[in-house]
Amino acid sequence: MASTEPISNEPKSVVPPQPSDDSEQTEPDTEEHRARVEQNGAISNPEQVQTDEKVETDTEKQTDNTEQSGSIFQAVGVITGLVKFTDENKSSITIGRKEYQLFYAPRKQRAFEALKKEIEATGESTQRLVVYPKVIHFPKKDQPHRIAFQLVGFDKGRQAEVISEELQDMEFKLCGLWQFIPVCPTPCISVFRNFTTERLEYIKTAELAKKIKFMKASHLPLLWKDAPVRPFRFNPKAGKDQGHPAFVEIKAKFLPQRDVFGFDTLLALPQDRAPKFLKASKKDKASAQAAKKDKAPVQAYSKDKAPVQRDKPKPKPKAKS
């Protein structure tokens, strides 16, 4: 029984976003992750130091070379592992000895349900999945990043002319900006949201929090020895004219023993200019962080007890004269 959700090289399609769509660039939405985001903005904006300074945030001013090169921002691959579903909606896939969170965007629920039915019907929990890789970075240097996978579809080897035919198990196609980010010692390929007119119209009217979430980038740690171009590293103490990250297109292998990707093949020569992309501005990010702080509950501390969560006191009504 094959999946009822066709597997396709989806990042190449242009689909107008919907306000409720978490989309392929959304990270796992867990209570722990949300708490960490509220505590430190570096988790939600790890690219802020470098790319805010060096990448044009006004998409209308970016040079669009997509038509000439056919390049787009993209991160998609194939993994095989033991899939496990739980009642708490914390599904996972085990690759080797390591377990990773497996989640889906709302519009991919049909593929997720089809995968469940496939496993129930065949009794075979080891599945070959097409996924988007997601990486959660943390501000502490001694706290390693965490990798999860977003389900796109699954393949039983009977699909033709799809991304799962182009890639072997554990192989990924990664296209993005080659650079260091402040919260990761390993250089990353930063995958931003591809620009379309429909997406631009959506973010113009979307709520601030949803807009920031929609344009959030993925930063994928990559081991690439003898790369033809060096990963860009922004120096906040240097002048503004420091250059900018190159746009690269590669095939890489996921290395679960190190939770990073390893370079395999160069798919195209590095480009000095990237395709047009969407990215939240400094102003919007600052406003979103300020809004989170305003909504955060006040903590009451006791000398002998652990912190107690209390809501902010309501203002007293003015006395009538």
Judge contact between 128 and 210, C-beta under 8 A. Answer: no
Helices and strands of the chain, counted as H and E runs: 9, 14
Kindly provide the residue ranges of all beta strands, DSSP E only, lying in 137-245, ordered along the sequence. Answer: 146-155, 171-181, 184-191, 193-194, 218-223
What are the structural domain ranges in the chain? 35-291
Say which residues have a Cβ less than 8 Å from residue 267's Cβ, sequence separation at least 6. Answer: 173, 175, 249, 250, 251
| Predicted model pTM | 0.72
Q: Identity (one letter) of the amino acid at 144?
A: P
Q: How far is residue 207 CA from its own chain's centroid?
A: 20
Tokens 């107690």: give the residue. Answer: 308
User: CA-CA distances (angstroms) from residue 273 to 42, 46, 183, 249?
Assistant: 26, 22, 25, 12
Residue 28's pLDDT band, with cuts at 50, 70 and 90, is very low
**pLDDT attached to residue 123:** 95
Among positive and negative, which fits the CA dihedral 134, 288, 50, 228?
positive
Tokens 């095989």: give the residue. Answer: 80
Residue 160's pLDDT band, with cuts at 50, 70 and 90, is very low
Judge contact between 314 and 241, C-beta under 8 A. Answer: no
Judge contact between 274 and 229, C-beta under 8 A. Answer: no
Q: Which residue has the higher pLDDT, 143 or 162?
A: 143
Say which residues have a Cβ less than 8 Å from residue 109's Cβ, sequence separation at least 6. Answer: none
Q: What is the DSSP string of 295-318?
A: HSPEEE--SSS--EEEPPPPPPPP
**pLDDT attached to residue 46:** 31
Q: Identity (one letter) of the amino acid at 211?
A: K
**pLDDT attached to residue 3:** 40
Say which residues have a Cβ less than 8 Å from residue 230's Cβ, sequence separation at least 6. Answer: none
**pLDDT attached to residue 294:** 75
What is the per-residue pLDDT across 291-309, written as a single tens digit (0 to 9) for each? 877 776 655 554 555 555 5
Beta-bridge partner residues of 252: 172, 263
d(CA 107, CA 24): 10
What is the per-residue pLDDT across 199-238, written as a single tens digit (0 to 9) for each? 999 989 999 989 998 999 999 999 999 999 999 999 888 8
Half-sphere exposure of 2 (CA within 13 A, CB side): 9
Beta-bridge partner residues of 80: 128
What is the per-residue pLDDT across 231-275, written as a single tens digit (0 to 9) for each? 999 988 887 888 999 999 999 999 999 999 999 999 999 999 999
The mean pLDDT value for 312-321 works out to: 62
User: CA-CA distances (angstroms) from residue 143 to 95, 138, 146, 169?
Assistant: 22, 6, 9, 28
What is the per-residue pLDDT across 73-117, written as a single tens digit (0 to 9) for each? 999 999 999 999 987 678 999 999 999 999 998 888 999 999 999
**pLDDT attached to residue 48:** 32
Within 10 Å of residue 182's Cβ, how many Cβ atoms?
16
Say which residues have a Cβ less than 8 Å from residue 87's Cβ, sequence separation at least 6. Answer: none
Beta-bridge partner residues of 262: 223, 253
Give me the chain's average pLDDT, please. 77
The mean pLDDT value for 2-19 works out to: 36
Among positive and negative, which fits the CA dihedral 206, 209, 212, 216?
negative
